[in-house]
Amino acid sequence: MEENSKDQFLKTEVLGHPVGLFVLFFTEMWERFSYYGMRALLILFLIAKIEPENGWGWEKKEAYYLYGWYVMLVYLLPLLGGWLADNKWGHVKTVLVGASIITMGHGAMALSDLQIGMDLKFVFYIGLLLIVLGTGLFKPNMSSIVGKMYPPDSDKKDGAYTIFYMGVNSGAFIGTLLVGWIGETFSWTYGFGLAGIFMFFGLLQFYFARNIFGKAATEVKKNSNVIVSEEEKAKEVPFTKADLTTAAIGGFFVITWIVDGVSSAITRGSHFLTENLFSIGSMSVDLSQIFFAISLLTFIKLGLSRLVRYEVVERDRLKVIFLIAFFVIFFWASFEQAGTTLTVFAKDYTNRILEGNWGLIYKIIDLILSFTPMIILTAFIYKLFKAIWKTNPLTIVFTSISFLIIWYLVIIRVLNKLLGVKTAAISEVMSSLSNSSIGEMFTGAAVVDTSWFQILNPFFIVILAPLYSILWKRFAISGPQKFFIGLTLLAGGFGMLAIGASSIPNGAETASISMMWLVGAYLLHTMGELSISPVGLSYVSKLAPARMLAFLFGIWYVFTGLAGKISSIFAEYSESILETDGWTYFFLIFTIIPFIAGLAILSLNKPIKRLMHGIDK
């Protein structure tokens, strides 16, 4: 009876999928709201002048360095979250703990700017660390719960992950739109605080719906009443003493490397590991780099030694997971320039003051961009309302309250942009509105926020994701072919930027190129992302042994985190590249490398399909 009560909701469907998918959709949406909203502000806040912009006045290279460690750790900690879910807490409890910690982290970041007579910068760093830890617990288990609501070989999984990915990017869109606007216009503190408020709403709506995800998502694997066959037990590969020793050695070196890097980011350049240990030609080698290399080789050795002990089918499928995760590095190392160099490119090198017809076009587009996703998401809430109002009313209550607040903020923001005012007070907005005609609102000059460009990626995903879901069902396109398409589209986006930036002189500190180059690039980057990220998540879910699902999602995110760190290293070198070779040369790097990687994985199409043992269609 207990099992029936926990699993009955899997039979309740919305748009042909279990109702739990849409609760996960909105919970993930608020977590991504908080993450991407803060991401839109982080670089801008760090490099903003102390006076009069109330930023920290960091050099760009310093900001990129901190950002790289933050992004890497956000994706590295899912290993911990996956292990805890599989062995201690189960997926649902781990998500709840993670969401609580993320909420506290955003609260700490908001409090760090309070003027109370003492320097509270340390609270800002504590907030970042809490967000890193909470996201590590939260992120892999949300994806795992999606996978466990479907049979292992369900043909609905690709569609489910695409819908789930719409939730990810709906949060990214709204978070960037509102947090970016509030942070840039009113206060960095208000922006960071807003991100935490909606993470709290996500926590509440998930908590009151925690019973609808099925037994597999709630129970810890080792405490489950499911009888495991002798055949399944025989497939398990326990850690030997040698494995644990190797992992401990690798762990020591990687943790030391991370602590040295993070402390250097916080202190803006002070390492405790020896710098310039020796030189190879003109390149100096630091002790931290040696530590990283040792840890990398150690974990590769550990992985290979364990891989050969799995039975043939599992071993081959695990090879595919690691192979596609490796190629994902090439995608995200380029794509993640959005948070660093592309933010600076939008701020200092793009014409963001639009007048005449261009101002009118922008205001109309901004109006459509602001309201279209909100209308779609409200329709989803209505369908969810009909499905679970009687059984989980508090989930609907908190989801509805959060959306009423979001609707208010979206409307106020649009009116601020149309009226040319800067106020969130409804009385002041209405007063300005009463004194303005429609013609005056749409014909005035428009100033585009720097963070506005980052809403394009999630907006395009929300619009295009359903089309991609249909595309993958209609055409027999293999995983490697989808990856080739994605990497090629990404390369095309940077190729556009290389052309657009060709008129910017080497070493120029400012320029004013058309914003259409960035818009076109984000469109192509988004189309590439839809060909890779949800597809990759789906393949991990299909290929991973059920007993290792959350852990392997954690491994997937480790590769994504490494890509984020590599991306920041490229960004750190950008200033010297821009000084000598210019923006076009810099963008061509990200045109050539992803395209070559795409050709490489396409050439492996047949071997990869063979290693999947029938999973790929």
pLDDT per position as a tens digit, 364-373: 999 998 998 8
pLDDT in the model for residue 503: 94
Q: Cβ–Cβ contacts within 10 Å for residue 382, how many?
A: 12
Alpha-carbon distance of 428 to 411, in angstroms, equals: 14
Is the pLDDT assigned to residue 374 strictly greater than 50?
A: yes
Alpha-carbon distance of 550 to 79, in angstroms, equals: 8
Q: What is the DSSP string of 559-579?
A: HHHHHHHHHHHHHHTHHHHHH
Residue closest to 92 by CA, chosen among 217, 208, 224: 217
Q: In this predicted structure, which of 111-115, 318-322, 539-543, 603-607 has the lowest mean pLDDT?
A: 111-115
- For residue 5, name the pLDDT band (cuts at 50, 70, 90): very low
490 burial via Cβ count (<10 Å: 0-12, 13-18, 19+)? buried
- For residue 15, name the pLDDT band (cuts at 50, 70, 90): low
Architecture of the domain spanning 2-224+310-611 = Up-down Bundle (1.20)
Of 111-115, 278-282, 523-527, where does the model show the most confidence? 523-527
φ/ψ of 340, rounded to 5, equals -120, -90
Q: What is the DSSP string of 490-548?
A: HHHHHHHHHHHGGGSPTT-S---B-THHHHHHHHHHHHHHHTTHHHHHHHHHHHS-GGG
Residue closest to 153 by CA, chosen among 542, 597, 609, 580: 542
pLDDT in the model for residue 319: 93
Is the pLDDT assigned to residue 1 strictly greater than 50?
A: no
Is the pLDDT assigned to residue 13 strictly greater than 80?
A: no
pLDDT tens figures, 394-446: 888 988 999 999 999 999 999 888 887 777 777 787 888 778 777 777 777 88
pLDDT in the model for residue 50: 76
Q: What is the DSSP string of 280-329?
A: ETTEEE-HHHHHHHHHHHHHHHHHHHHHTTS-HHHHHHHHHHHHHHHHHH
Mean pLDDT score of the chain: 86
pLDDT in the model for residue 4: 43
Amino acid at the residue 381: I
Q: In this predicted structure, which of 160-169, 321-330, 478-487 has the lowest mean pLDDT?
A: 160-169
> Is the Cβ–Cβ distance between 175 and 35 less than 8 Å?
yes
Is the pLDDT assigned to residue 140 strictly greater than 90?
A: no
Residue closest to 35 by CA, chosen among 99, 90, 112: 99
Is the pLDDT assigned to residue 316 strictly greater than 80?
A: yes
pLDDT in the model for residue 163: 78
Q: Reduced to 3 states, what is the DSSP secondary structure of residue 16?
A: coil
Alpha-carbon distance of 378 to 500, in angstroms, equals: 38
pLDDT tens figures, 578-604: 999 999 999 999 999 999 999 999 999
Is the pLDDT assigned to residue 198 strictly greater than 70?
A: yes
> Mean of the pLDDT values across residues 328-356?
93
pLDDT in the model for residue 233: 65
Amino acid at the residue 536: G
> Mean of the pLDDT values across residues 131-157?
81
Is the pLDDT assigned to residue 216 strictly greater than 80?
A: no
Provide CATH 1.20.1250.20 ranges for the chain.
2-224+310-611
Of 66-80, 417-431, 460-474, 492-506, where does the model show the most confidence? 492-506
pLDDT in the model for residue 126: 93
> Is the Cβ–Cβ distance between 409 and 178 less than 8 Å?
yes
Is the pLDDT assigned to residue 152 strictly greater than 80?
A: no
- For residue 14, name the pLDDT band (cuts at 50, 70, 90): low
- For residue 3, name the pLDDT band (cuts at 50, 70, 90): very low
Strand (E) or helix (H) holding 18: strand 17-18
Radius of gyration of the chain (CA): 24
- For residue 109, name the pLDDT band (cuts at 50, 70, 90): confident
pLDDT above 90: percentage of residues in the chain = 42
